[in-house]
Amino acid sequence: MKFKARVTRMLAAALFGSVAFYADNASALSLKEAMAVALESNPEIGQAVENREAIEFELRQARGLYLPSVDLEASVGARRLDNPSRRGVGIEDDPLYPSEVGLSVTQKLFDGGGRRAELERQAARVDSASFRVLERSETIALQVVREYLEYLLQIQIVNESRANLGFHQSMLGDISSLISGGALTEADRQQAQERALSAKARLKEAEEELEAAKIRFYKLVGKPLTNPVMPASVASALPRSLDAAIGIARANNPRIKVANADIDVADAQVDAARSKMFPEISAEGRARTGYDIDGADGRTHDLQARVVARWNLYRGGIDVANEQEQIRRASEQRLVLHQAYREVEEAVRISWDRRQRQIDLSSTLRDQAATNARLVNSYREQLVVGQRSLLDVLGAQNTRYSVNVLSKTAQYAALFAEYRILAATGTLLNTMHLQSAKQSEAYARTEFNVPETAPTETYKRLPSRQVNDLPLDLLAPIRRQ
């Protein structure tokens, strides 16, 4: 029986020892590795990738406008035809059973630039979608940084909360001996117990925040955060000055690039609207063969080739109004670009200022925390000899706990601000030596020779205010009643 119990203990020790070994040697997930996993697996990035590829096939459809359209048609049926020629020979009551096969080929030769406008529009949309993949990747990467640092911060806060609870529990032991010596009263014990319970509640809150940070990280990365490592500062990769950072952001931020591509989309829509004012010229070829077709008995062969021009001369002013609408859309998109410039610059300025202030704040709070630690020890010694009250000690400890938490928060906030500056300047992934998805490559406008965005708008604008003077509105008298 003793031998069996000893064997059981040996197996249990071996089991728990192996578990502890693997737990201690589990590979740490660095910040860079977490960002790389998120770039590969985050669904938001995947959505942007699929959207870009879908628009590429819209570009393929635009290319198809330059190619001929080939249609095959076949029919069979019955027909009764009564016309002068058939009545003249007395066969107007004879049925016809037409059956035919036809092939038509249509090639558009000229459409006022409509095909080219559609090609440029879709090429610009492909590039816009590519930059959105990059923008989404930079955003998700920054969110990973935030949650990674938040998790590390919450670990520090949990440890600080445990130390705070331990202090209050040790104070309860000291108070018992001081009560026995007559230096303190039972009311002091109750006050210490209340503070200990408050410290325990703070620990529970900190543990809850730690778990929430872990869940948020898992949502972003799709992988649990194990053995996180404090990331290094990226201060050496930051621009030398605020003005330099703003300049880099205006040139590199993906949001700016998206807005520029969207301007090209809007300009192409203006060209498409203008193309409606020109004629369309097409080459058509038709061939058909069959029986009893076109009211003629017997077999028929029909071959036809022609050039067709179609030109709408008036459509109630719709084409002009459409052109003016698209001009306004293009102007709207240019204002979107200006807004993006302002918001990106705001993000750079805020991050730059926050980093400087949090660095200063962290240094000040560290000094205050060191002073508080000495003060608590002094108060605790003076409490024993009756020179300080219990409330003095507990108050000093509460301040020490709060300052320690604020100091660590400022430290992580300053570090996160560095990464936020990189994200605002569009250089976060490059700094971390990471690559976004291949769908972030904006190639289409270069491939299809789309002209560069004009710096200013040069369109002719007409007044937009409309008046109620509809011609031939037969229901107007009724509506006025």
pLDDT digits (tens, 9 = 90+) for 208-253: 999 999 999 999 999 999 899 999 999 999 999 999 999 999 999 9
Looking at residue 15, what is its pLDDT?
39
Residue 40 lies in a domain: yes
Residue 48 lies in a domain: yes
Please give the structure tokens belonging to residue 466.
């409309």
> Which 3-state string (H, E, C) describes 25-72?
CCCCCCHHHHHHHHHHHCHHHHHHHHHHHHHHHHHHHHHHCCCCEEEE
Looking at residue 61, what is its pLDDT?
98
**Residue 232: DSSP 8-state:** P
Return d(Cα 78, Cα 258) in angstroms, integer.
Answer: 59
Neighbours of 337 (CB within 10 A): 17
Same structural domain, 166 and 299? no
Q: What is the CATH number of the domain that holds 102?
A: 2.20.200
Same structural domain, 189 and 251? yes
SS3 65: coil
Same structural domain, 193 and 292? no
Asked if residue 333 lies in contact with residue 266, where contact means CB atoms within 8 angstroms, the answer is yes
* Closest among 226, 211, 218, 210 to 25, alpha carbons compared: 226
Return d(Cα 78, Cα 92) in angstroms, integer.
Answer: 14
Same structural domain, 344 and 233? yes
Residue 469 lies in a domain: no
Return d(Cα 150, Cα 156) in angstroms, integer.
Answer: 10
Residue 159's contacts (CB-CB under 8 Å, 6 or more residues apart) are: none
Q: What is the CATH number of the domain that holds 223?
A: 1.20.1600.10
For residue 390, the one-letter residue type is L
Query: Mutual orientation of helices 186-221 and 31-41 as an angle, nearest 10°?
Result: 50
Half-sphere exposure of 458 (CA within 13 A, CB side): 4
Residue 417 lies in a domain: yes
Sign of CA dihedral 388, 393, 394, 395: positive
Same structural domain, 51 and 198? yes
Same structural domain, 200 and 250? yes
Return d(Cα 225, Cα 148) in angstroms, integer.
Answer: 8
In this predicted model, what pLDDT tens digit does every residue of 272-320 receive, in sequence order? 999 999 999 999 999 999 988 887 888 999 999 999 999 999 999 999 9
Task: Tell how far CA 426 is from the center of its chain.
Answer: 14
Same structural domain, 199 and 341? yes
Residue 56 lies in a domain: yes
Domain that holds residue 102: 69-110+281-311
Same structural domain, 129 and 235? yes
Whole-model pTM: value is 0.86
Same structural domain, 172 and 294? no
Structurally, the chain folds into a number of domains equal to 2
Same structural domain, 177 and 236? yes
Please give the structure tokens belonging to residue 319.
């084409």
Residue 244's contacts (CB-CB under 8 Å, 6 or more residues apart) are: none
Same structural domain, 81 and 124? no
Domain termination residue (choose one: 292, 311, 330) = 311
Looking at residue 4, what is its pLDDT?
42
Looking at residue 481, what is its pLDDT?
58
Residue 11 lies in a domain: no
Same structural domain, 450 and 346? yes
